[in-house]
Structure 1
Amino acid sequence: MRRGLLIAFSLALGGLAAPVAAQDGRLAATLDEFLERYGFPGATAAIALPDGTVMAAATGLADVEIGRAMTPETPMLAASIGKSFVAATVLALESEGRLSRADLLLAHLGDRPWFDALPNAGTITIDHLLQHTSGLPDHVHLPEFQAEWTRLTTDERDFDPERLIDFVTGEAPLFEAGHAWAYSDTGYVLLGLVIEQVTGQAWHEAVRTRLLDPLDLGGTVPSNRPDLPGLAVGYIAPDNPFGLPARTADAERRLLWNPAVEAAGGGFASTSADLVRWGHLLFGGEALEGPYLDRLLDGVPVAPDAPGILYGAGVAIYADTPRGPVWGHGGWIPAYVSSLRHYPDHGVTVAFQINTDVGIANDESDLVPALEAALADLAIEAVR
């Protein structure tokens, strides 16, 4: 039985685009080849061409135990790619005059009982949070959070993201705000709280009303509960630090942990086709009303010895690669890996999702960079 399944269609961006049949077949074949080479359970991938044509394919299994096939419409947890939605919502609110990137966090959350114990409480700005220059520790990597993982992720109550802030209150800052770079999921949890404070909506509702609904991204939904419809089952190494079994869902495909714990550090399940549509629109300047790319791509270096790698507003920026500049974001969460990349010199966008993190989370496998490169070359060749 052929494992590669494929769909091709056009984004509604001003007319139908002609299908590219040769690349259609090659996308499915590329995924099949990677399945044979790396032995993951299943994957989806999508390519967006400059004219709006989107090709999507799937290979392997979304549920190994029952032999459920992966399809292009199968959602997976998108993890930190969700930061691009959160950041774009902040930029939209700035365009609406509801906040400014220069605002001190104090102006929006200063009345919270934990605020004064936050590292760098009085000097953090919205822009610092967007760019990971706040000096906040990342709660995800603190031993206290990891020790509480099981309790936090099996709690059946509506998850309160302020519980995550407690893990960094009282901690020393990593550096003065704005003086260095350190990735912090905690910073994006705080941005979610700011969005809620400014809009009066749950943060993911603000994302939906400003981005998901207007852009017709119906395959992207909040990952705020364990029973996400149609979700591919995820697989993880048996000796993982989270104490999860190798299959991270029960027989009804309900997750054995609550993904709401990610809060605005990610917070969405999506498909590769939806992610590539999102990247095509976001990086093409079509996702928001009015200009915003200068703010989106206003990046800071992530390390002194890597001046060509920057981080903007929820976007990683690689200024110089063999394929020209690259803009995008990766996503990892237990048992799921996602990637979104845009190549502005060529006008193409690629995305993929895999329902395992075995060999990826610990950097033993080159699967992610190899698949990113293969998809990029396929997309670029299609427009030559």
Structure 2
Amino acid sequence: MTCVAQRIAALSVSLITSVHPVLAEARSAGSAVRQVLAEFHETYRFPGATVAYATEDGTVEAFAIGYADVEAGIPMTPESRMLAASIGKTVWGALVLSLEADGILARSDLVSDYLGDRPWYARVPNAAEITIEQLVNHTSGLPDHVHMEGVADELIELGEGEFDPVDLITFILDEPPLFQAGSGWDYSDTGYVLLGLAIEAATGEDVFDLARDRFLTPLRLRSTDPSLEPRIDGLAVGYTDEGNLFGLRPRTMDRNGHLAWNPVVEWTGGGFVSTSSDLAVWGRDLFSGRAMDRPYIDDLLDGVPVHPDMPDVLYGSGVAVYQTGPFGPVYGHGGWIPGYVSSLRHYADHGLTIAFQINTDLGVVDDSTDLVPALEAALAEAILGAPD
């Protein structure tokens, strides 16, 4: 057994907890969450995890288990940060609505209105037809560069020098569109990179500065920052599969705290490091209408079907919308990036938001484990009780 495996196998199931404020009902829910987290840790043997939930009355409770650094024996704490990956799309979708409310852009605008003068733009699939909204809800017909053959290795190399997000767009130039813009649905990180470029062109500002000024700072998300460099304070070590697409070592961070790759290459495909507590607060505020000083929920949740076989699952302005479920409608997003998985779920009928982060993606990318959906379901039941 390897040193890493020995540490994980021998790890006590005791949990570190951070609470503010604590109510009688929160204590009861907290005990149930501790038990779920301990059981999942014992069953799935992930290195470490954090979980947090937030309610509309202001309760925020956070938990941690396992190791933030297995080899060094550093425990995971509620303050441990991890890469949130595509949960960042909830920020960018909200930013579009915020800018639209200020009259800076409109979702119906053609992307060519902002990027059409760039020498490369005409080579983008569906270049003349794509709208801002189609980038936001993944109906642009753009391929997803992340999963194109041979791109993974090149992404790692892109982060080693001076980074230009346009370099990410070059992977899809002259490629055929997946479908006519607006006529289908297919998830595309490339579309969100193009969205980031369009936002910067429309505003003349850095897109991450806009996110910080409009959301992160006003909502006091103090543990959330752009993930734009390989060294990030407070980042838990991420562990990945030895045969991962990116050719990374299983431990994705060196002994000096530097990632073996630069997460800047994700850019506005996600783009943030966070804690489960901050993610839960963000989800609570976003989906309860508190993230902006004007009505926006209807626009946020105005989604398109993701697949004919799943008519109840929609994708709105950077958010997944599950219209039906055992606890009623659920809104949120998941996140995967080498070494980390994250989940954000808001249970609308109950005013409850749950987030978790795990510092490994083993088995998640190839769907060989049900860890993420199983933990989502177990946490919801632990807090809300068995569904009717």
Measure, in 2, the Cα distance between the counterparts of 1:248 and 1:63: 11
Identity of aligned residues (%): 55
By how many angstroms is 1:150 displaced?
3.2
1:91 aligns to 2:97 (yes or no): yes
Are the aligned partners of 1:8 and 1:19 in contact in 2 as well (CA < 8 Å)?
A: no
Superposition deviation, residue 146 in structure 1 = 2.3
Structural mapping, 1:122-133, within 5 Å: 122-133=128-139
Work out whether residues 9 and 19 of structure 1, in 8 Å CA contact, stay in contact via their aligned partners in 2. Answer: no
Residue pairs, 1:260-275, within 5 angstroms:
260-275=264-279
Q: Is the contact made by 1:120 and 1:176 (CA closer than 8 Å) also made in structure 2?
A: yes
The correspondence for 1:7, drawn from 9, 12, 18, is: 18
Q: Deviations over 1:313-370 (max 9, x none)?
A: 0000111111111110000001100000011111111000000011111101111011
Aligned residue runs from structure 1 range 315-330, under 5 A: 315-330=319-334
CA distance in 2, matches of 1:5, 1:49: 20
Cα distance between partner residues in 2 of 1:2 and 1:334: 25
User: Where does residue 229 of structure 2 map in the other structure?
Assistant: 225
1:167 pairs, out of 165, 171, 174, with 171
Moved over 6 A (4+): 16-19
1:79 corresponding residue in structure 2: 85
Per the TM alignment, residue 51 of structure 1 is displaced from its structure 2 partner at its CA by 1.2
Query: Taking structure 1 as the reference length, what is the TM-score of the superposition?
Result: 0.95
Partners of 2:50 and 2:356 within 8 A in 1: yes
The correspondence of residues 11-22 of structure 1 with structure 2, limited to 5 A, is 20-22=26-28
| Matches of 1:2 and 1:36, distance apart in 2 | 8
Task: Name 1:13's counterpart in structure 2.
Answer: none
Summarize deviations over 1:253-284 as a string: whole Å, max 9, x none: 21000000001000000000000000000000
Equivalent position to 1:108, from 106, 114, 119: 114
Give the 3-state SS of the residue equivalent to 1:345 in structure 2.
helix
5+ residue gaps, structure 1: 11-15
Aligned twin of 1:205: 209
Q: How big is the alpha-carbon RMSD for the aligned residues of Structure 1 and Structure 2? A: 1.7
> For 1:189-218, what per-residue CA distance to the aligned partner results, in whole angstroms no more than 9, with x for missing partners?
011112211222211111000000000001
Distance 1:56 1:217 in 2: 15
SS class of match (2:40): helix
The one-letter code of the counterpart of 1:59 is: I
- Alpha-carbon contact 1:236-1:357 (below 8 Å) kept: yes
Distance 1:17 1:23, change over 3 A: closer
Query: For residues 20 and 237 of structure 1, what CA distance do their matches in structure 2 show?
Result: 37
The SS at the match of 1:167 is helix
**2:186 alignment partner AA:** A
Is 2:190 the partner of 1:186?
Answer: yes
**2: CA distance, partners of 1:152 / 1:3:** 41
Matches of 2:223 and 2:325 in 1, distance apart? 31
Q: What SS does structure 2 have at the residue aligned with 1:166?
A: helix
Alignment of 1:220-299 (within 5 A): 220-299=224-303
Instruction: Work out whether residues 13 and 41 of structure 2, in 8 Å CA contact, stay in contact via their aligned partners in 1.
Output: no
Following superposition, the deviation at residue 378 of structure 1 comes to: 2.1
Distance across 2 between alignment mates of 1:191 and 1:65? 39
Structure 2, unpaired ranges of 5+: 1-11
CA drift at 1:147: 4.0
